[in-house]
C-alpha cells in the first residue's frame, strides 16, 4: 500500500457498535469484564485504550515497524527508550541534538548512571572511533535541529550492529513521509508527534516505533509500568493530523525550498542552512535517505549582532515567534535563547549554533506571502 493511503486507512476501521467512520475517543478509565479475566482485550486504560490502539497500529504501518507505543510527549517517549538501558551503560548522541533531549540525558539519566557522550554525528568514522565498551545506544537526529546537519542512518546502523549497539532515530523533523529509519537498519524510531504528525499545534504527544517483537515487548512493558500514556483525545488529534501528513509535508517542503533560495539571494543574509542546496555537506545523503529535503531551515545575517537578529524575529507578521515546529502555520525562532537554551554554551558554539542564528519552520501558507513577510522583516 502507498504511504498516502496508509495515513488514512492503516489501523483504522469503522466503529463496530455504530459504524462511525472516525475512530471514537474512548474516554474511559476502565472496561467492564463479564467475569474476572473474561474481557474483550481491554482491562484498564493505562494498559490499553482503543483510540490509542488505532493510532499505534497506524504509526506502525507508516514507519514499517513491528509495533508502536504512544506516550504523553516526545520526551516521555524518549524516557521510555532510555529505560531500555541499565546503570553504567553509555549513550552516543549528536552535539546539536534537541535541547530537551540532551537535558533528559544529562540532567536526569546521568544521576541514574547513564553516561552520554556528544559528538558531531555527520561523520560516521568519528562515530566508530567514539564507541566505548559501555556504549549501548546511538541516538540519531537527522536532519538536526537547528543546524540541518544530515546523519547517514544506514552507515551508522552498520557500525552499531557490528557491536550489538541499539540505534534509535528521532524522526520528528523528517516525518515518516520523507524518511523511514527502520528500512535503513535502525532498531527504534522516535517521534515528537507534537510536531508534524499532529501538525496543527494543538497537542503534545510522542511515539516509539519498534523494529521487532523483542523491542516491542520491552517498550510495551515500560509504557505500562511507568505510565506516561497519552489521553484518548490526544490520540484522536494525532490520528486526525496524520490523515493529511503527506499533503502538508509536501507543500511545506516546496515552500521551504523557495524560501531557502530567496534567503540565499538576499544581500543582508549570510548563511542559509538547508540540505536541499547542492553544496550542503549532507546533500547527497539527504537525497539518498529522504524523499524531499524537509521544511525546516536556518539562516543568519551578515550583521552578526543579536539586535539585528531580534529585529527580524520580532518583525515578521505571518511567521510567529514561537517554540515548536511542524504545524500548518509558519514559525520563526531563536534557537540559542529558545529551543536550545539548555545546551551548554560551549557545545552550542562548537557545533555552529551561534547567537544570531534564526530558525524557520515553514508552514503551508502561500509561499509568496511568506517570502514577502521575511523580506519586509529583513529589510526594515
Ligand atoms: C520537540 C522535540 C522533541 C520533544 O518532544 P515533546 O513532544 O516536546 O516532548 C524531541 N525531539 C525533537 C527533534 C523535537 O523537535
pLDDT (tens digit per residue) in 85-98: 999 999 999 988 89
- The CA–CA distances, whole Å, from 234 to 67, 151, 203, 220, 368 equal 19, 31, 6, 19, 33
| pLDDT value at 347 more than 80 | no
Query: What's the chain's average pLDDT?
Result: 96
Instruction: Compute the residue count for the chain.
Output: 380
Backbone angles phi, psi at 70, to 5 degrees: -100, 150
CA distance 127 to 374: 38
CA trace torsion 84, 86, 90, 93 (10° rounding): 30
Distance of alpha carbon 150 from its chain centroid, rounded?
A: 14
The helix (run of H) or strand (run of E) holding residue 67 is: strand 67-71
Query: Are the beta carbons of 40 and 53 closer than 8 angstroms?
Result: no
| pLDDT value at 12 more than 80 | yes
Residue among 170, 187, 300, 373 flagged as catalytic: 170
Report the predicted TM-score, pTM, of the whole model to 2 decimal places: 0.96
Residue to substitute in 172, 201, 324, 325 for testing ligand 1 pocket (most ligand atoms within 8 angstroms of CB)? 172
| pLDDT value at 343 more than 80 | no
- The CA–CA distances, whole Å, from 51 to 62, 161, 175 equal 17, 35, 21
Is 106 known to be catalytic?
no
| pLDDT value at 169 more than 80 | yes
Question: What is the 27 CA–ligand 1 centroid distance (Å)?
Answer: 26
CA distance 330 to 316: 10
pLDDT (tens digit per residue) in 112-144: 999 999 999 999 999 999 999 999 999 999 999
| pLDDT value at 228 more than 90 | yes
Residue to substitute in 70, 79, 179, 192 for testing ligand 1 pocket (most ligand atoms within 8 angstroms of CB)? 192
Higher pLDDT, 354 or 188: 188
Question: What is the 18 CA–ligand 1 centroid distance (Å)?
Answer: 36
Confidence of residue 349 (pLDDT cuts 50, 70, 90): confident
What lines the ligand 1 site, CB under 6 Å? 73-75, 98, 100-101, 141, 145, 170, 172-173, 192, 194-195, 204, 206
Three-state SS at 86: coil
| pLDDT value at 360 more than 80 | yes
pLDDT (tens digit per residue) in 102-113: 999 999 999 999
Residue to substitute in 71, 72, 74, 325 for testing ligand 1 pocket (most ligand atoms within 8 angstroms of CB)? 74
* pLDDT at residue 242 in the model: 98
Residue among 52, 136, 195, 220 flagged as catalytic: 195
* Cis peptide bond N-terminal to 346, omega within 30: no
Higher pLDDT, 347 or 249: 249
Amino acid at each position: 500500500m502507498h504511504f498516502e493511503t496508509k495515513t488514512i486507512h492503516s489501523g483504522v476501521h469503522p466503529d463496530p457498535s455504530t459504524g462511525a467512520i472516525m475512530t471514537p475517543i474512548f474516554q474511559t478509565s476502565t472496561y467492564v469484564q463479564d467475569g474476572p479475566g473474561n474481557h474483550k482485550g481491554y482491562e484498564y486504560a493505562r494498559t490499553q485504550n482503543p483510540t490509542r490502539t488505532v493510532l499505534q497500529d497506524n504509526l506502525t504501518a507508516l514507519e514499517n515497524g513491528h509495533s508502536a507505543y504512544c506516550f504523553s510527549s516526545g520526551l516521555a517517549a524518549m524516557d521510555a527508550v532510555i529505560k531500555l538501558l541499565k546503570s553504567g551503560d553509555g549513550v552516543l548522541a549528536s552535539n546539536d541534538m534537541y535541547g530537551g533531549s540532551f537535558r533528559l540525558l544529562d540532567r536526569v539519566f546521568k544521576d541514574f548512571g547513564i553516561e552520554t557522550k556528544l559528538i558531531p554525528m555527520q561523520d560516521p568514522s568519528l562515530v566508530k572511533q567514539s564507541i566505548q565498551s559501555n556504549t549501548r545506544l546511538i541516538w540519531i537526529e537527522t536532519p538536526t535541529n537547528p543546524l540541518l546537519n544530515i546523519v547517514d542512518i544506514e552507515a551508522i546502523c552498520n557500525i552499531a550492529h557490528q557491536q550489538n549497539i541499539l540505534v534509535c532515530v528521532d524522526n520528528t523533523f523528517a516525518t515518516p513521509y520523507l524518511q523511514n529509519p527502520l528500512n535503513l537498519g535502525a532498531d527504534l524510531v522516535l517521534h515528537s508527534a507534537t510536531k508534524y504528525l499532529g501538525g496543527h499545534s494543538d497537542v503534545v504527544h510522542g511515539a516509539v516505533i519498534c523494529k521487532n517483537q523483542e523491542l516491542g515487548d520491552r517498550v510495551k512493558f515500560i509504557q505500562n509500568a511507568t505510565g506516561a500514556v497519552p489521553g484518548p483525545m490526544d490520540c484522536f488529534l494525532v490520528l486526525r493530523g496524520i490523515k493529511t501528513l503527506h499533503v502538508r509535508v509536501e507543500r511545506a517542503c516546496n515552500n521551504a525550498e523557495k524560501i531557502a533560495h530567496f534567503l540565499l539571494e538576499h544581500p543582508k543574509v549570510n548563511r542559509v542552512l538547508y540540505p536541499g542546496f547542492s553544496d550542503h555537506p549532507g546533500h547527497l545523503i539527504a537525497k539518498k535517505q529522504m524523499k524531499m529535503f524537509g521544511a525546516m531551515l536556518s539562516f543568519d545575517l551578515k550583521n552578526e549582532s543579536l539586535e539585528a537578529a531580534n529585529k527580524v524575529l520580532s518583525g515578521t507578521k505571518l511567521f510567529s515567534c514561537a517554540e515548536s515546529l511542524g504545524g500548518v502555520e509558519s514559525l520563526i525562532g531563536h534557537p540559542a535563547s529558545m529551543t536550545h537554551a539548555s545546551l551548554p554554551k560551549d557545545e552550542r558554539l562548537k557545533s555552529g549554533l551561534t547567537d544570531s542564528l534564526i530558525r524557520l519552520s515553514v508552514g503551508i501558507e502561500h509561499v509568496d506571502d511568506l517570502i514577502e513577510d521575511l523580506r519586509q522583516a529583513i529589510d526594515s
